[in-house]
């Protein structure tokens, strides 16, 4: 199936049902289908050709979802730009993709003055008030559907570029096909048993895995909720107002909910609280369950697998695990020579499956490094227990070699965050003339804490091997983070 046929199926089955809730606005499947179809017609009759890219610098609103679906129906390839990035980074993405159209929210119009858009003959569409210089999205979604909009869409056609966060370098555009989206969505729907009665709230920004905002709901005929931010008060209000049943967020969001929400009667409609993108501490899972009577379901996913590929069963007692493989994914753990390793041995996780991308847009070198002999190399070091549950250890690139000994930062981070005065921390590596590399910890303390770096080093030395103890512990006010909440290790 294609994204176009998935939308049409839900429109045929649930025409009057609300597909999108946003503040006081409701968009039915009938409106979603016809408006996105009109937009597709607008694109085609204004020169869009199959395979052309369409960029979006937009907020998380129904207009953005309509735009994504309209681009897909026109045969275009959509992608969302992180508007928080500096001008040079945004320009890099524009130059890489050479968009035929750029859809931009009116509040970001000033950024057009700082970007060189027109060298690519890019046409502009505005979301917001009428503009004398550019057509608005409202005009485009009111466009008469004319012959020619029914582009022949193949499941193998690219439908969007899912950009990596760029937390370890320049962002890379994962070329995601209709087929990739279908199989990942089918996988997660079967894993969590989503159905047409579910109401979904996704905590990802519009430019981070944007398909997660709408694919699950549209596939099942369910509903999705959009919010302007993901502050605890906003989430709690949205869950209560719209009777949200499925929440997708990083662990930091769940920690904030625990701190903010004093009553245990909140979030009562939730049946799935899914967490991916960051490590989920077992203490957080226990505390959340005790307070809200909902299990946080830890999962592992990536841009390159088009979403989650492993999930920990809701009632699992292995709280530190990232779970077992989801349907349609095959997983192996291999050593440095790509030989499979046995149970409880640490190695790199490699993955096969229909949801996996085939490479990065206009980046042959990185694409070859990603896929080898049909297997996607994740760069994540994991282990598997005898019951086939997987455990995340560290990013391969973050592994520290101290005089030949392998040190995984996650282990040190878990020790430090178990200290009552530590809010969060990140472990990196520094060069050493004698030992090669040494661990360095960057720590955020509780307000008014007087604990010293030396005390934290002693705390570690009592709980791990001497060579794993951080040589340096820097205490800072905050860790640098991307909008998605991921720590920017290259900035430490």
The share of the chain scoring above pLDDT 70, in percent, equals: 97
The arithmetic mean of pLDDT across residues 298-306, rounded, is: 94
> In the structure, what pLDDT confidence band is assigned to residue 479 with cuts at 50, 70 and 90?
very high
Q: DSSP letters along 246-274, please?
A: EEEE-HHHHHHHHHH---TTTTTT-SEEE
Beta-strand ranges (E) seen in 53-130 are: 53-57, 77-80, 101-105, 123-127
- DSSP letter, residue 145: P
Instruction: Quote the pLDDT of residue 148.
Output: 58
Closest CA to 322 of 335, 338, 305: 305
Please say whether the beta carbons of 91 and 115 come within 8 A.
yes
The arithmetic mean of pLDDT across residues 65-86, rounded, is: 94
The predicted model scores a pTM of 0.88
Total Cβ atoms within 10 A of residue 57: 24
The arithmetic mean of pLDDT across residues 148-155, rounded, is: 78
Q: Say how far apart CA 333 and CA 405 lie, in whole Å.
A: 20
Instruction: Quote the pLDDT of residue 169.
Output: 63
Structure-block tokens of residue 340: 């499979």
Please say whether the beta carbons of 323 and 298 come within 8 A.
yes
The arithmetic mean of pLDDT across residues 279-304, rounded, is: 92
> In the structure, what pLDDT confidence band is assigned to residue 277 with cuts at 50, 70 and 90?
confident
Instruction: Quote the pLDDT of residue 488.
Output: 85
> In the structure, what pLDDT confidence band is assigned to residue 179 with cuts at 50, 70 and 90?
very high
Cβ-defined contacts of 262-267 (< 8 Å, 24+): 264/291, 264/292, 264/293, 266/236, 266/239, 266/240, 266/292, 267/236, 267/239, 267/292, 267/294
Q: Say how far apart CA 190 and CA 183 lie, in whole Å.
A: 11
Q: What is the pLDDT of residues 250-259, one digit of tens each?
A: 888 998 899 8
Please say whether the beta carbons of 246 and 217 come within 8 A.
no
Query: Is the confidence at residue 483, as pLDDT, over 80?
Result: no
Structure-block tokens of residue 170: 């320049």
Instruction: Quote the pLDDT of residue 144.
Output: 85
Query: Is the confidence at residue 166, as pLDDT, over 60?
Result: no
Alpha helices in 141-281 (DSSP H): 178-192, 215-220, 232-242, 251-260
Query: Is the confidence at residue 164, as pLDDT, over 90?
Result: no
Q: Say how far apart CA 486 and CA 286 lie, in whole Å.
A: 22
Instruction: Quote the pLDDT of residue 317.
Output: 87
115-129, 360-374, 444-458: lowest mean pLDDT where?
Answer: 115-129
Q: Say how far apart CA 358 and CA 76 lie, in whole Å.
A: 18
Alpha helices in 123-214 (DSSP H): 137-140, 178-192
Please say whether the beta carbons of 192 and 274 come within 8 A.
yes
Please say whether the beta carbons of 430 and 440 come within 8 A.
yes
Instruction: Quote the pLDDT of residue 142.
Output: 92
Mean per-residue pLDDT over the chain, rounded: 92
Query: Is the confidence at residue 231, as pLDDT, over 60?
Result: yes
Q: Say how far apart CA 170 and CA 382 lie, in whole Å.
A: 25
Closest CA to 89 of 175, 162, 163: 163
Q: What are the φ and ψ backbone dihedral angles of 214, each rounded to 5 degrees?
A: -135, -20
> What domains does the chain contain, in order, with CATH numbers?
3-186 (3.40.50.980), 229-395 (3.40.50.12780), 399-491 (3.30.300.30)
Query: Is the confidence at residue 331, as pLDDT, over 70?
Result: yes
Q: Say how far apart CA 191 and CA 269 lie, in whole Å.
A: 19
Query: Is the confidence at residue 170, as pLDDT, over 70?
Result: yes
Query: Is the confidence at residue 65, as pLDDT, over 90?
Result: yes
Structure-block tokens of residue 443: 């720590």
CA angle 30, 151, 12 (to 5 degrees): 25
Q: Say how far apart CA 109 and CA 23 lie, in whole Å.
A: 24
Paired with 334 in beta bridges are 340, 348
272: left (phi over 0), alpha (psi -120 to 50) or beta: beta
Instruction: Quote the pLDDT of residue 345.
Output: 95
Mean pLDDT comparison of 4-13, 110-119, 143-152, 482-491, highest-scoring range: 4-13
Structure-block tokens of residue 367: 């694409």
Q: Say how far apart CA 243 and CA 138 lie, in whole Å.
A: 29
Dihedral (CA of 410, 416, 420, 425) sign:
negative
Query: Is the confidence at residue 40, as pLDDT, over 90?
Result: yes
> In the structure, what pLDDT confidence band is assigned to residue 312 with cuts at 50, 70 and 90?
very high
Instruction: Quote the pLDDT of residue 190.
Output: 97
Q: Which whole-number Å values give the CA distances from 203 to 103, 132, 228, 401, in the listed order?
A: 22, 35, 10, 36
Please say whether the beta carbons of 406 and 399 come within 8 A.
yes
State whether residue 433 is helix, strand or coil. Answer: coil
Instruction: Quote the pLDDT of residue 52.
Output: 97
38-52, 163-177, 280-294: lowest mean pLDDT where?
Answer: 163-177
Instruction: Quote the pLDDT of residue 436.
Output: 86
Q: Residue for token digits 């582009």? A: 151
Instruction: Quote the pLDDT of residue 316.
Output: 84
The arithmetic mean of pLDDT across residues 55-80, rounded, is: 96
> In the structure, what pLDDT confidence band is assigned to residue 165 with cuts at 50, 70 and 90?
low
Per the model's pLDDT, the better-predicted residue between 408 and 306 turns out to be 306
Query: Is the confidence at residue 292, as pLDDT, over 80?
Result: yes
Q: Say how far apart CA 172 and CA 168 lie, in whole Å.
A: 10
Q: What is the largest CA-CA distance in the chain?
A: 73
12-16, 84-88, 316-320: lowest mean pLDDT where?
Answer: 84-88
Which residues, 6 or more positions from 121, have their beta carbon under 8 angstroms from its beta carbon? Answer: 100
Per the model's pLDDT, the better-predicted residue between 259 and 219 turns out to be 219
Please say whether the beta carbons of 84 and 111 come within 8 A.
no
Query: Is the confidence at residue 168, as pLDDT, over 60?
Result: no
434: left (phi over 0), alpha (psi -120 to 50) or beta: alpha
Per the model's pLDDT, the better-predicted residue between 176 and 482 turns out to be 176
Instruction: Quote the pLDDT of residue 182.
Output: 98
Please say whether the beta carbons of 443 and 422 come within 8 A.
yes
Q: Say how far apart CA 312 and CA 291 lie, in whole Å.
A: 20
């Amino acid at each position: 199936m294609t994204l176009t046929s998935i939308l049409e199926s839900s429109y045929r089955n649930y025409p009057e049902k609300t597909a999108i809730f946003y503040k006081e606005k409701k968009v039915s499947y009938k409106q979603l289908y016809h408006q996105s179809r009109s937009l597709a017609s607008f694109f085609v009759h204004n020169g869009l050709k199959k395979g052309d890219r369409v960029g979006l610098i937009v907020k998380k609103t129904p207009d953005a979802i309509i735009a994504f679906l309209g681009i897909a129906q026109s045969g275009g390839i959509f992608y969302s730009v992180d508007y928080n990035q500096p001008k040079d980074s945004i320009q890099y993405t524009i130059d890489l993709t050479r968009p035929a159209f750029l859809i931009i929210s009116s509040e970001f119009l000033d950024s057009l003055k700082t970007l060189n858009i027109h060298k690519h003959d890019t046409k502009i569409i505005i979301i917001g008030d009428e503009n004398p210089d550019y057509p608005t999205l409202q005009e485009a979604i009111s466009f008469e559907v004319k012959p020619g909009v029914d582009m022949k869409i193949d499941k193998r056609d690219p439908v969007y570029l899912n950009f990596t966060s760029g937390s370890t370098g320049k962002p890379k555009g994962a070329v995601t096909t209709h087929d990739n989206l279908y199989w990942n969505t089918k996988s997660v729907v079967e894993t969590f048993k989503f159905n047409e009665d579910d109401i979904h709230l996704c905590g990802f920004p519009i430019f981070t895995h944007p398909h997660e905002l709408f694919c699950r709901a549209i596939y099942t005929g369910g509903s999705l909720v959009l919010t302007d931010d993901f502050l605890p008060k906003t989430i709690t209000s949205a869950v209560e107002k719209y009777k949200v049943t499925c929440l997708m967020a990083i662990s930091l969001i769940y920690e904030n909910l625990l701190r903010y929400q004093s009553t245990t009667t909140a979030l009562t409609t939730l049946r799935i609280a899914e967490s991916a993108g960051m490590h989920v501490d077992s203490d957080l899972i226990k505390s959340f369950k005790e307070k809200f009577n909902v299990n946080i379901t830890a999962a592992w996913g990536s841009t390159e697998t088009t979403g989650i590929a492993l999930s920990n069963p809701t009632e699992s007692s292995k709280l530190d695990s990232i779970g077992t493989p989801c349907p349609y994914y095959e997983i192996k753990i291999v050593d440095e020579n790509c030989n499979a390793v046995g149970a409880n041995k640490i190695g790199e996780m490699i993955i096969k499956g229909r949801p996996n991308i085939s490479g990065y847009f206009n980046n042959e070198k990185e694409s070859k490094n990603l896929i080898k002999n049909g297997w996607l190399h994740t760069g994540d070091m994991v282990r598997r227990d005898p019951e086939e549950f997987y455990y995340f250890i560290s990013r391969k690139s973050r592994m520290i070699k101290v005089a030949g000994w392998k040190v995984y930062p996650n282990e040190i981070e878990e020790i430090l965050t178990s200290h009552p005065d530590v809010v969060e921390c990140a472990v990196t590596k520094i060069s050493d003339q004698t030992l090669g590399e040494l661990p360095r910890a960057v720590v955020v303390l509780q307000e008014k804490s007087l604990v010293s770096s030396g005390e934290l080093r002693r705390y570690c030395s009592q709980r791990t091997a001497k060579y794993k103890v951080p040589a340096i512990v820097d205490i800072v006010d905050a860790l640098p983070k991307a909008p998605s909440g991921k720590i920017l290790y290259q900035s430490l």
